[in-house]
Amino acid sequence: MLMKVLLVVIKGFHLGYIGCYGNEWISTPTLDRLAAEGIVFDQHYADHPTTAGGRIAWQTGCYSFPWPEWVESPTGKPAAPDLYARLKEQGVRIVSIAPEPANDAPSPGSMEATLERSQKKLASLSSREHWLLKVEFDTLLPPWKVPEQFREEYFNEEETDVEPLAPGEVDDSLESCRVAVPGLADVQKEYAAAVTYLDAGLEQLFTSLREGAAGKDVLIMVTADSGQAIDDPRRGDPGKTTLHEELMHSPLLVCFPDRQGAGRRISALTQSLDLMPTFFDLFGLPVPEAHGRSLLPLMLGKSAKIREYACTSLRAGDRIEWALRTPEWGFLLPMQAPSSGSPLASELYVKPDDRWEVNNARQHHVVLAENIEQTLWSFVRATLAPGPFQPPDLCLEENEQTENAQTAEGDQP
User: Which tens digits make up the pLDDT trace of 380-391?
Assistant: 999 999 888 999
pLDDT (tens digit, 9 = 90+) per residue, 176-222? 343 444 467 888 999 999 999 999 999 999 998 988 766 678 999 99
Residue 32's pLDDT band, with cuts at 50, 70 and 90, is very high
Q: Looking at 30-130, which runs of residues are DSSP E strands? A: 39-45, 93-97
Burial class for 187, CB neighbours closer than 10 Å (0-12, 13-18, 19+): middle
**Identity of the residue numbered 248:** M
Please give the CATH topology (third level) of the domain spanning 4-306. Answer: Alkaline Phosphatase, subunit A (3.40.720)
**Rounded Cα gap, residues 387 and 164, in angstroms:** 55
Q: Nearest-CA neighbor of 331 among 305, 307, 365, 304?
A: 365
Distance of CA 233 to the CA centre of its chain: 20
Among the residue ranges 47-51, 164-168, 193-197, 363-367, the one predicted with the least confidence is 164-168
Cis amide linkage into residue 391, ω under 30° from 0: no
Torsion of CA 118, 119, 123, 129, to 10 degrees: 50
pLDDT of residue 158: 54
61: region left, alpha or beta (phi > 0 left; psi from -120 to 50 alpha) = left
- Model confidence pTM above 0.85: yes
Torsion of CA 2, 6, 9, 10, to 10 degrees: -130
Name the average pLDDT for the chain. Answer: 86
pLDDT (tens digit, 9 = 90+) per residue, 263-314? 999 999 999 999 999 999 999 999 999 999 999 999 999 999 999 999 999 9
pLDDT of residue 162: 47
Domain boundaries, the chain: 4-306
Q: Are 234 and 168 in contact (CB under 8 A)?
A: no
CB atoms within 10 A of CB 327: 16
pLDDT (tens digit, 9 = 90+) per residue, 109-147? 689 999 999 999 998 988 888 999 999 999 999 989 899
